Amino acid sequence: MFRIAHISDLHIPPLPRMRVRQLVGKRLLGLYSWHHKWKAEHREEILDSLLAQLDELQPDHVCVTGDLTFTTHPEEVDAAAAWLTRLGPASKVSLIPGNHDAYAHGSLDYALERWAPWMQDDDARPSFPYLQRRGPVDIIGLSSAVATLPGFSSGRMGEEQIARLEALLGKLADERRPRLLLIHHPPQDGATNRARGLTDRHALQALLARSPVDLVLHGHLHRPVRSALAGPDGPIPVLGAASASTLGQRYAPAHYHVLEVDSEAASAPVIRVRHSHYDPVKGAFLLGESVAVTAPEAKATT
């Protein structure tokens, strides 16, 4: 059994002090939003509790589906790199960026540079999609992180990235290894509105309908989500994690997934999931029972 922890939307606090020249465009609005809305929600002590439970569980691997920062200020990016080091070495952590990691135009470049060890494929190429082969599992990372106008938090992969994904899945088609696909924005219909959604999700849906993966993991919605995409041999399960750092005043309390992958099953990989939710009263994450990741109806459930 190969155990994977899936965490997302950390928005690692606190935000640094910013100079006036750094408060350009959307970042100025983000700073205002943080101090008037989100500073009390995303908590350092919750992330410390998360690390404590992961230290107890000792997962074989950790997948992080984006939004480590809030405004992608360089000091936030550096702090996130330090936090990733605490989380684990690059060989045990797979990372993709989220929309907050591309908050201001050009800011994603620095994040990609600082976080490169956790986002490279096994040939050390810093491009998306990447392929990381970890134990019995193939982990494929996509980037939907793009800078957007104020009021928008949508994502896009782009035609070139989707074409590279199709070529990659084609190469893996004859191999019987569990395949996990990481993307920040939810790829299913109806998950959110157009201003927050994945604008080219239908292209990804069409690709996975003929070249499937075993499980899709995403974040972005700040609530646990279970859904499905159509695949050639039946529905492909989709799991979305809530934010890993929220107190639960505005969104769901902090949450993450613990996946157990059995690659030795007779016909297809067997994947089970345990949900871990933060309990604000106890000040700790509480791990739930293991349930099978089956083909659910395409709807969100908590």
- Judged against a pLDDT cut of 80, whether residue 245 lies above it is answered with yes
- Beta strands 255-262 and 130-134: pairing type? unpaired
Q: Looking at the predicted structure, is the pLDDT value of residue 294 above 70?
A: no
Give the separation between CA 96 and CA 241, rounded to whole angstroms.
14
Q: Of 99-113, 228-242, 268-282, 288-302, where does mean pLDDT reach its minimum? A: 288-302
Q: Which residue has the tokens 């690059």?
A: 90
Q: Are strands 255-262 and 284-287 parallel, antiparallel or unpaired?
A: unpaired
Give me the pLDDT at residue 297, please. Answer: 40
Residue 142 has pLDDT above 90, yes or no: yes
CA atoms of 120 and 98, how far apart (whole Å)? 16
- Could you tell me the two tokens for 69? 């920062």
Average pLDDT over residues 235-241: 97
In this predicted structure, the answer to whether residue 23 has a pLDDT above a threshold of 70 is no
Give the residue, 181 or 35, on which the prediction is more confident: 181
- What is the structure's pLDDT at 130? 97
pLDDT at 296 over 70: no
In this structure, the chain runs to a length of 302
Percent of the chain whose pLDDT exceeds 90 = 78
| pLDDT at site 300 | 38
The pLDDT score that the predictor gives to residue 123 is: 83
Give yes or no for residue 114 having a pLDDT over 90: yes
Q: Which two tokens stand for residue 15?
A: 């935000």
pLDDT score recorded for residue 22? 58
In this prediction, residues 114-137 reach a mean pLDDT of 92
CA–CA separation, 22 vs 33, rounded Å? 16
Whole-number Å distance between alpha carbons of 169 and 186: 20
pLDDT interval class at 15 (50, 70, 90):
confident
For residues 168-177, one letter each, b for 16 or more C-beta atoms within 10 angstroms of the residue's C-beta and e for the rest, the string is bbeebeeeee
Beta strands 61-65; 93-96: pairing state: parallel
The structure tokens listed for 179 are: 């395949």
Q: What is the pLDDT averaged over residues 246-260?
A: 93
Render the burial of 206-245: b for 16+ CB within 10 Å, e for the rest: ebbeebbbbbbbbbbbbbbbbbbbebeeebbbbbbbbbbb
What is the pTM for the complete model shown?
0.94
Q: What pLDDT was estimated at residue 25?
A: 64
- Tell me what the mean pLDDT of segment 90-95 comes to: 97
**Domains in the chain with CATH codes:** 2-292 (3.60.21.10)
Reported as a pLDDT band with limits 50, 70 and 90, residue 159 is very high
Mean pLDDT of the chain: 91
Query: How far is the C-alpha of 126 from the C-alpha of 116, rounded, in Å?
Result: 6
In the chain, % of residues over pLDDT 70: 93
> Over the stretch 25-80, which tens digit does the pLDDT of each residue have?
687 777 778 888 899 999 999 999 999 999 999 999 999 999 999 999 999 999 99
Q: Give the mean model confidence (pLDDT) for residues 208-234.
A: 96
